Chain A
């Protein structure tokens, strides 16, 4: 067999990776990290790390980081709702999931941003279930028809009612952590089974530079103890909350991620953790954080390269745009990021559907992005060399008219070799005219309806359903909310 080449992009030389990781080790040892969480500080103290209690500052030795890395897994496994389908997060596997926690939705009718409500989130979940190239769900929008206190758990609760795909989620308040984990335990039956087959990843964002808040550190600790994967989301902004150079930001990013790895492994050695982030190039004119800037993408790819060097699964926020509409900018930024993420072999890529600096979700964009993701998943398979000879035999079989369409070989391979898009325009002009001269956005709008009609709700066992509902209700009640919004199917 001839070996195929997997297309790949790397932004750093081996020496550069080593220099960045080396400085990150020094940063942790000499400057330390700030941990506003007593339990995490206690864990670090127990590991003989020097701690300045007055400043909640911990200095972490290289030895501890290396020990922590040695107990990490290079691959994390995630399972769907029924615990049947397995997803490996590791190697060069790529899983796209929608950008998460949008506080706005782009209204399909008037093309303005507005606050999403329960019904929007349900539609979003159902649509995502039908998208072939989006492997995971994310708790993608913050529903505005419930109070802030329950907004984080409510997203996951709704998701579990409607979705089979595993989730990427996270907490907004430390109080929600337990009930959110309880929801996952309820789906699996008990803690042991959840640890064996995790259903969700929890994102935890250190505050740049070098700080783990009470909330995020607690998320790391509790998830690790339950065997729920933590995804570390460092988010330095070049020149604002991290050094302005890409290399400088990479040092900080690596140090923040490594400190997260340490906290997870202290909480429970071997706990699943993903080297990730949402760093961004800070716009020195507008004071904004463009996710579609090429520098943002370069940092993301380089981070992933560092994560792979450390033998960890990786994540990035790519395949999203800062545009306010589903326009040319939205397409180009999303595709640029997603292509690079694919070529960098980033394992979890969060972003599809997202606009306006990670703040707005669009169902239309999500459907278009599904086609972008599909083509990238095709691209990273590379040029495959299925049989040998590669083509010679075909020319012996073929008749005088050289018609490949009739060959068994064509039927055997065409679906495997080629990606079929659902919304990209590949019509001849007259057909396109006859179909109503629709642009990508309007075709996506039609496609959404088509797909939503295809969506089928999987039956939940009545006990599981009752338990999920009871966890949500009792938490809502503890926050003073007696009634949850009505869900109309």
Chain B
């Protein structure tokens, strides 16, 4: 029985690492039907899988299509397991709540979507406001949802100025201490993040996950 169980968990892990979305969903369903505890499945099989996807990205074996597929497969498995988790009365502690979006004036969302998927896949609750998002809206939603982190994306050098404006807006409204602000996007850099008084910058979606973990640890 245990050997059989281990095999399924291993297969689920492999499906996520390989980005096989349908297989991951089916295997997650099988674990539930076979009566595995969903929390254990997530901890033993799914989370290590998405970590492995991140590692493969970091070492340069994985490219964006594999990274996205990995996050999607994770999402497919988790959508099944989270329902089961609720039914079983167990809870998976959320790693944190992040409000994310591309700042106003900017319609580019490829990078932002990727960061959102990776954060979701690694256990964060993500509220994705989309692209061309008014700065006030980030604050409004973050307050309402009691988010801990606000993530601002910008692809254009003209719109990245809105990241700076946003930090100013928080300061003006006396809310700067309420949220951690992180920034990303092609023209954005570590230096820019420091310059505008943001809490951090991630160069890639994988690093964004690391960053959020780090700054929430410090909190």
Residues of A within 8 A of B (CB): 103-104, 115, 142, 148, 207, 239-241, 284-285, 287-288, 357, 359
**B157 in complex: contacting residue of A239, A285, A288, A359, CB < 8 Å:** A359
B64 sits at the interface (CB 8 A): yes
Q: Which residue of A lies closest to B66 (CB)?
A: A284
B39 sits at the interface (CB 8 A): no
Q: Are A284 and B64 in contact (CB under 8 A)?
A: yes
Across-interface contacts of A207 in B (CB, < 8 A)? 107
> B112 → chain A, closest Cβ, in Å?
11
**A287 in complex: contacting residue of B107, B111, B157, B158, CB < 8 Å:** B111
In addition to A103-B156, A115-B157, A287-B186, 14 A-B residue pairs with Cβ atoms within 8 Å of each other are A103-B157, A103-B158, A104-B157, A148-B158, A239-B64, A239-B65, A240-B110, A285-B60, A285-B64, A287-B110, A287-B111, A287-B114, A288-B186, A359-B187
Q: Which residue of A lies closest to B60 (CB)?
A: A285
Q: Which residue of A lies closest to B161 (CB)?
A: A148
Q: Are A287 and B187 in contact (CB under 8 A)?
A: no
Please classify the interface of chain B as helix (H, G, I), strand (E, B), loop, or mixed, using the class held by over half of its residues: loop
Across-interface contacts of A103 in B (CB, < 8 A)? 156-158
Instruction: Kindly state the separation between the CA atoms of A240 and B67 in the bound complex, as whole angstroms.
Output: 13
| Number of B interface residues in the complex (CB < 8 A) | 14
**B158 in complex: contacting residue of A142, A239, A285, A288, CB < 8 Å:** A142
**B63 in complex: contacting residue of A142, A241, A285, A357, CB < 8 Å:** A285
Across-interface contacts of A288 in B (CB, < 8 A)? 186
Instruction: Kindly state the separation between the CA atoms of A4 and B199 in the bound complex, as whole angstroms.
Output: 65
Q: Which residue of B lies closest to A282 (CB)?
A: B64
Residues of B within 8 A of A (CB): 60, 63-65, 107, 110-111, 114, 156-158, 186-187, 204
Across-interface contacts of B65 in A (CB, < 8 A)? 239, 284
Across-interface contacts of A287 in B (CB, < 8 A)? 64, 110-111, 114, 186, 204
Q: Which residue of A lies closest to B160 (CB)?
A: A103
Instruction: Kindly state the separation between the CA atoms of A142 and B159 in the bound complex, as whole angstroms.
Output: 13
Instruction: Kindly state the separation between the CA atoms of A207 and B109 in the bound complex, as whole angstroms.
Output: 13
Instruction: Kindly state the separation between the CA atoms of A227 and B36 in the bound complex, as whole angstroms.
Output: 71
> A357 → chain B, closest Cβ, in Å?
8
Instruction: Kindly state the separation between the CA atoms of A309 and B142 in the bound complex, as whole angstroms.
Output: 54
Q: Which residue of B lies closest to A103 (CB)?
A: B157
Across-interface contacts of A357 in B (CB, < 8 A)? 186
Q: Are A284 and B107 in contact (CB under 8 A)?
A: no
Instruction: Kindly state the separation between the CA atoms of A104 and B158 in the bound complex, as whole angstroms.
Output: 10
Instruction: Kindly state the separation between the CA atoms of A103 and B158 in the bound complex, as whole angstroms.
Output: 8
Instruction: Kindly state the separation between the CA atoms of A148 and B105 in the bound complex, as whole angstroms.
Output: 11
28 A-B residue pairs with CB within 8 Å: A103-B156, A103-B157, A103-B158, A104-B157, A115-B157, A142-B158, A148-B158, A207-B107, A239-B64, A239-B65, A240-B110, A241-B110, A284-B63, A284-B64, A284-B65, A285-B60, A285-B63, A285-B64, A287-B64, A287-B110, A287-B111, A287-B114, A287-B186, A287-B204, A288-B186, A357-B186, A359-B157, A359-B187
Q: Which residue of B lies closest to A148 (CB)?
A: B158
Instruction: Kindly state the separation between the CA atoms of A359 and B187 in the bound complex, as whole angstroms.
Output: 10
> A158 → chain B, closest Cβ, in Å?
18
Instruction: Kindly state the separation between the CA atoms of A115 and B160 in the bound complex, as whole angstroms.
Output: 13
Q: Which residue of A lies closest to B114 (CB)?
A: A287
Across-interface contacts of A148 in B (CB, < 8 A)? 158
Across-interface contacts of B187 in A (CB, < 8 A)? 359
Across-interface contacts of B64 in A (CB, < 8 A)? 239, 284-285, 287
> A486 → chain B, closest Cβ, in Å?
23
Across-interface contacts of B204 in A (CB, < 8 A)? 287
Across-interface contacts of A104 in B (CB, < 8 A)? 157
Q: Which residue of B lies closest to A213 (CB)?
A: B107
Instruction: Kindly state the separation between the CA atoms of A104 and B186 in the bound complex, as whole angstroms.
Output: 14
Q: Which residue of B lies closest to A356 (CB)?
A: B187
Q: Which residue of B lies closest to A288 (CB)?
A: B186
> A181 → chain B, closest Cβ, in Å?
23
Q: Which residue of A lies closest to B105 (CB)?
A: A148
Q: Which 6 A-B pairs have the closest CB atoms?
A: A284-B63, A103-B157, A284-B64, A285-B63, A240-B110, A287-B111
Q: Which residue of B lies closest to A244 (CB)?
A: B65
Instruction: Kindly state the separation between the CA atoms of A285 and B65 in the bound complex, as whole angstroms.
Output: 9
Instruction: Kindly state the separation between the CA atoms of A114 and B107 in the bound complex, as whole angstroms.
Output: 24
> B64 → chain A, closest Cβ, in Å?
5
Across-interface contacts of B110 in A (CB, < 8 A)? 240-241, 287
Across-interface contacts of B156 in A (CB, < 8 A)? 103
Across-interface contacts of A115 in B (CB, < 8 A)? 157
Q: Which residue of A lies closest to B110 (CB)?
A: A240
> B135 → chain A, closest Cβ, in Å?
15
Across-interface contacts of A284 in B (CB, < 8 A)? 63-65
> B171 → chain A, closest Cβ, in Å?
22
Most B CB atoms within 10 A — which of A103, A115, A142, A288? A103
> A322 → chain B, closest Cβ, in Å?
12
Q: Which residue of A lies closest to B111 (CB)?
A: A287
Across-interface contacts of A285 in B (CB, < 8 A)? 60, 63-64
Across-interface contacts of B60 in A (CB, < 8 A)? 285
Instruction: Kindly state the separation between the CA atoms of A359 and B158 in the bound complex, as whole angstroms.
Output: 11
Across-interface contacts of B157 in A (CB, < 8 A)? 103-104, 115, 359
